[in-house]
Chains A and B, each alone.
Chain A
Amino acid sequence: MKFCINFVIAASLALAGAAAHADEERSMLSLKGFGSLGTSGTDNDSLRFRRDIKQGRGVGSGWGIDTDSRLGLQVDAEFNNAWHATVQWVARNTTGDFVEQNLDWAFLRWRPLDDLDIRAGRMGFDVFMLSEYRDVGYAYPWIRPPHEFYGGLPVYHFDGMDIAKKFALGEGQLTVKVFGGHSFNQVPIGLSEQSDQRYTLAGIKLAYEQGNWNARIGYNYALNNLELSPLHPLLDALNDPALSAVWPDASGLAAKISAKDKAVHFTSVGLAYDDGLWLAQAEGSYIHSELNVYRSVASGYLSLGRRVGKLTLYTLLGISETLNDRSSVSSPLAPVPALLELRNAADLTLNTGGVDEKSISLGLRWDVTENIDLKTQWSHYWLGNNGSALWLRPASGAAADTVNVWSVGMDFIF
């Protein structure tokens, strides 16, 4: 199956390339793109702000341009009314292989009926309202997707299949989509290392669109296939058979810390309203995690906006909270310094990845031309004790509990 999907991705890339040389008269091929140029800075250097946990570099008071700046290119090849291929690649600040990790879409689509789409290849991870187009700033009012909701999501795409069917329902349209596959991600660990992650994913979403309203509800399942590489030294030490006499719980602790073959469940609801003048959007999610190093979290945001001519003024409230209690870590029977050090390492691993973040933002979008906008946004973040996992933190030292982030940017499509 994995081979088949890789084959489809390669075929999509090749077909899009081949279509580039084909008969342009039939306009079967198109090149489109989008991008953002943005700069942002904070007022506190004890933490570094990043757009999401896929980014290993952040910005501080010195400002920087690579949090939000990006350039996406998309080639669409329309072979006939039933067959279509799309390839999209986005240059952005990311972790891991710059070519492979930034390829977000490469699929073949078959449309056997007018309202049925079957796609295979690489596709965006459709877990929340914005998760498939987080990079397309032109498509939403904010400078970036709400941090509490999207900042904790390192998965942009997966390799597999999806099936979407549309139904007329009442005055509107209901879309039911199911998907499944694998996702390979390289994520930053601390400030200098990275780790490979591979998930087996499956999900379903129901989306309803009627007039000015958009609603969706979704469930996604992700099974973690690999042990997180930074955990290896700790797990090896705890699993050492020599330890069992002086610390009988050590191997149980290792099993608790291990992330392999444990699942994450995403449940979410979203509602958006836009009548041309007023806009409102809210989403809520509960992410239930079986991984003890990545704990269950509940998040939500609410945004209101008002358009005045070419200007959109908006406000955004966000919240994300880790729900699990602190994990207790037993002590070794013999208080040997090396063992106590190991116990502390286990305690840190289990109990420091929490999210406790709230924010308020005010921003302005100005539609300068039909395909260019300028935006500015101020955000004030409150971070609880052990609650800054979405940020980059120094290895030691206390982190701030409030931070302001200012941003200015331009989005365009072509």
Chain B
Amino acid sequence: MKTFLISLLLACIPAVRAEILVIGHVKNDIDSLTAKQVQDIYLGRSRVLPNGKFALPIDQPSPLRAEFYEKLTGRPVEQINAYWARIMFTGQASPPQQLPSDEVVMRTVRENEGAIGYVNKASADKTVRVLLQLD
């Protein structure tokens, strides 16, 4: 009965979109990043982290990818893709590498000091450092 009530209660709350965490390596000495800093890294405008290390941003497949860019830039993912089409097909830079899941992103961030990724809040743990929360 109690479980039933809780489920009922949850069902009444309007669908809350998952919070997304931007994560980095635990040893990277960066407390946090601003949304603008994360934007600059993910849009290829900045190639280094504030600590001077070479940044390795990691993307994920949509729908998480679409949600991430919408929250980070306020623009739909089609506009982000059109932006990257211009940048990469004029030989300036390549978009972030795409990895298949939260789990793989977590593992890659644990293994690379320059890595920056984003995952669902529920997938993050103490093995990585949270740099920014997007909600």
Contacts and interface: CB of A to CB of B under 8 A. Distances in A.
B82 A276 contact: no
B85 A109 contact: no
B121 to A, nearest CB: 24
Given A173-B45, A310-B78, A413-B81, A76 B94 contact: yes
Nearest to A371: B81
A46 B88 CA distance: 40
Interface residues of B, number: 24
A371 B90 CA distance: 18
Interface in A105-147: 105, 107, 109, 114-115, 117, 119, 123-124, 132-133, 135-136, 138-140
A72 interface: yes
Contacts of B92: 117
Nearest to B77: A370
B48 interface: yes
B81 A138 contact: yes
B79 A72 contact: no
A88 B89 contact: yes
Given A27-B97, A133-B86, A276 B91 contact: no
B100 interface: no
A32 B91 contact: no
Contacts of A413: 81, 85
B55 to A, nearest CB: 10
B91 A136 contact: no
Nearest to A107: B91
A209 B44 CA distance: 13
A310 B77 CA distance: 11
A156 B91 CA distance: 14
Contacts of A173: 45
Contacts of A367: 76, 78
Contacts of B47: 114-115
A139 B82 contact: yes
A327 interface: no
B51 interface: no
Nearest to B90: A132
Interface in B72-126: 74-79, 81-83, 85-86, 88-92, 94, 97
Contact of A139 (B45, B48, B86, B94): B86
Interface string A360-374: 000000010011010
A204 to B, nearest CB: 17
Query: Interface range on chain A: under 10, 10 to 19, 20 to 34, or 35 or more?
Result: 35 or more
A139 B79 contact: no
Secondary structure of the B contact surface, majority rule: mixed
Contact of B85 (A86, A115, A139, A276): A139
A34 B54 CA distance: 29
A373 B79 CA distance: 11
Contacts of A276: 74-76, 79
- Most chain B beta-carbon contacts within 10 A, residue among A78, A123, A139: A139
B97 A124 contact: no
A191 to B, nearest CB: 32
A140 B81 CA distance: 11
B85 A88 contact: no
Contacts of B97: 27
B86 A136 contact: yes
Nearest to A115: B47
A133 B83 CA distance: 12
29 contacts: A30-B94, A32-B88, A34-B89, A74-B89, A86-B91, A88-B89, A105-B91, A107-B91, A117-B92, A123-B91, A124-B90, A124-B91, A133-B86, A133-B90, A138-B81, A138-B82, A139-B82, A139-B83, A140-B82, A209-B45, A274-B79, A276-B74, A310-B76, A367-B76, A370-B62, A370-B66, A371-B81, A413-B81, A413-B85
Given A74-B89, A136-B89, A139-B85, 11 more contacts: A30-B94, A133-B85, A136-B85, A138-B81, A139-B86, A276-B75, A276-B76, A310-B78, A370-B62, A370-B81, A413-B81
